[in-house]
Amino acid sequence: MRKTKFQKIDGTEEIKLPQMLDFYPLEDEENTRISLFFKNLGEGRLTTTRCKSCERLLWPPRIICPECLSDELDWVDLGSEGELYAFTEMRLGAPLGFVEDVPFCIGMVKIGGLLISARIDDAKYEDLNIGDKVRLKIVELKDGRVFYRFAPSE
Amino acid sequence: MRKVAIVAGGATRCGKREASWRELVQEAGKNLFESVDNISPKDIEALLVGAAQPERFTFQVHVAPMAAEYLGITPTKVLATTELMCASGQAAIRYAWACVASGMADMAVAFGVEKMFMKDMAEAQTNMTCVLDREWDGINGLSAPPFFAMTAQRHMLEYGTTKEQMALVSVKNHHYSTMNPIAQFQKEVAVEKVLSSPMVAPPLNLFDCSGITDGAAGVILVPAEEAKKYTDTPLYLLGSGQASIGNVVNNLASITEWVPLRLAVEETLRTAKITIDDIDIAELHDCFTISEIMEYEAFGWCAKGKGGAFIEEGESHIGGRVAVNPRGGLLGCGHPLGATAVLQAIDVMQQFRGEVPKGRLVKDADIAVTQNLSGAANVHSIIAYSRNPT
């Protein structure tokens, strides 16, 4: 009887964080029709779309107004100072890509008529209070992509 | 439309299981079909598989035919996976119900399964962070614990709810789960233990949060008029409600008041033709302690903002105004996403049959509801069940 053959093979190579585990969106014109949002962010401006037809302020930025189906949208500035509506701190259970940042603060920020979630940088949980003023901060990834966060106002 | 009843149920033990997704399916399937004498897998015409994230947790898509194969079912009428995150199992029951009610199938299985323990738990957490809109909320680290932490923070600020009141929910549900042999957690916890457990996301400690859990469960649905052929004590589907408002934080109706839950409650009461006072058992979605407190309020068993006092006064214990989570809840039993609603249904059936241990038996219960929230509590799903045909 022939002996069963055993052979070592190369399995998966060391895996880099694949695109589908990357939390940050693809921001350029090739990949999204709201690339202007990210271009504005790169210039220090937090913006979103407002429907020209029904005037509704839309968040996240859209290409079509879900209320009236108009595709005529304006970009509007939301300002750079917000108010902390709620906050917490990630201490256990962070996802890949954020594990090294633990602990980090997360908040809900009232800004420009919206209530948005965001990382709250440069602060410990104990330093924060509901109602605190927070300032827009832009972070830039190594590959040039940008995203918004907030930090306590001076 | 035909009336529909559940005639059998079977489940796995829940927890950190030394078993794969495929094996959880087989275990639950064996328990399901062995619990009823005259139904075999080959009798099943429709199979709905509640599975929240098999593609993330076990790197497998197209799981409905795979589950069917392992269960020995060859569906001839309807087959699909239902995904609604934490309410995926309830979606399976609702669709299986619709299939039987409409006549599309005469016998359906609603199944639920989740394998959540992975080698690298940071990857499991990654999966849980794409539940909210990943590019606008998840990206900020907004998985369930931080979201519900901020919900709790606002509820404490606006209504004076305390950490101790929240801890009492955990104490109650862990107490009941000590009497549930398939529960993930079978030890009592005291208020001090909840408050001194590791902080996950303040103000939520570890014992304010339901666990990461492996588990599976299934139920068989048939037309109500056929139900007595298979069991003396069917579980009759009475009514249901479901509502969803918004998805990202900005577009939620409110952080501290779950408007879609109120709407789902109204629809459930209307379709089941009951009032909240008719409900003897409520299996509510206590993914976090604050959730159960807000659910008392949305159902209307207490005034808005008084959910903390409601648990403090023992009103949600067996013998109180309504028995909430006598199964042990998600806090005590664990939360295998796709399986949870199916596990709730099975426990209600066992309550009505008097098959649960005395210490958590709700005597003379006739009507029960099971409720699941999903996402940022923007979606709420409820089913009302009855011991008696209607």
Q: Taking CB atoms and an 8 Å limit, are A87 and B153 in contact across chains? A: yes
List active site positions of B: 86, 335
Q: pLDDT class for A7, splitting at 50, 70, 90?
A: confident
Residue of B nearest to A109 (CA): B250
- Write out pLDDT tens, residues B236-287: 999 999 999 999 999 999 999 999 999 999 999 999 999 999 999 999 999 9
A103 within domain boundaries: yes
Query: Does A5 map to a domain?
Result: no
Size of interface A-B (CB pairs under 8 A): 110
pLDDT of residue B161: 98
Question: Which one of B128, B136, B150 has the shortest CB-CB distance to A88?
Answer: B150
Q: What's the structural domain count of chain A?
A: 1
Instruction: Tell me: pLDDT of A14 over 70.
Output: no
Strand order in the sheet with B46-50: B78-82, B46-50, B108-114, B215-223, B4-11, B235-244, B379-386, B367-374, B281-283, B323-324
State yes or no: pLDDT of B298 exceeds 80.
Answer: yes
Contacts of A117 in chain B (CB under 8 A): 136-137, 140, 142, 248-249
Asked, for residue A123, whether it belongs to a domain, the answer is: yes
A6 part of a folded domain = no
Domains and CATH numbers, chain B: 4-119+212-229 (3.40.47.10)
- The pLDDT of residue A8 is 83
Mutate to test the interface with A, among B117, B139, B154, B335 (most CBs of A within 10 A): B139
CA distance B272 to chain A (A): 33
> How do residues B130-140 score in pLDDT, each as one tens digit?
999 999 999 99
What average pLDDT does this structure show over B192-204? 98
Residue of A23, A26, A117, A136 to mutate for B, most B C-beta atoms under 10 A:
A117
Residues of chain B found within 8 Å of residue A101, distances taken between Cβ atoms: 141
> Nearest CA to CA, how far is A3 from chain B (Å)?
31
Do the Cβ atoms of B249 and A116 come within 8 Å?
Answer: yes
Residue of chain B nearest A110, judged by CA positions = B250
Residue-level pLDDT at A17: 62
Is residue A2 in some structural domain? Answer: no
pTM given for the model: 0.96
Model pLDDT, residue A1: 72
What number is the average pLDDT over the span B204-233?
Answer: 98
User: Is ipTM > 0.90 here?
Assistant: yes
Question: Cβ of A119 and B141 within 8 Å?
Answer: yes
The answer, for B143 touching chain A at a CB cutoff of 8 Å, is: yes
Q: How confident is the model at residue B180 (pLDDT cuts 50, 70, 90)?
A: very high
Omega within 30 of 0 (cis) for the link into A66:
no
Percent of chain B, pLDDT > 70? 100
Mean pLDDT for the stretch of residues A133-146: 95
Task: Kindly report the nearest CA distance between residue A149 and chain B, in angstroms.
Answer: 8
Per-residue confidence (pLDDT) for residue A12, from 0 to 100: 65
**Residue A113, in any domain of the structure:** yes
Q: What is the pLDDT of residue A13?
A: 63
pLDDT tens per residue, range A19-73: 667 899 999 999 999 999 999 999 999 999 999 999 999 999 999 999 999 999 9
Residue A18 pLDDT greater than 70, yes or no: no
Q: In this predicted model, what pLDDT tens digit does every residue of A80-129 receive, in sequence order? A: 999 999 999 999 999 988 999 999 999 999 999 999 999 999 999 999 99
Question: How distant is the Cα of A105 from the closest Cα of chain B, in angstroms?
Answer: 9
**Closest residue of chain B to A25, computed from CA coordinates:** B135
Q: Which residue range is the domain that position A129 belongs to?
A: 22-152
Question: What local confidence, expressed as pLDDT, does residue B390 receive?
Answer: 81
Is A3 domain-assigned? Answer: no
Chain A hits for B128, Cβ within 8 Å: 93, 95
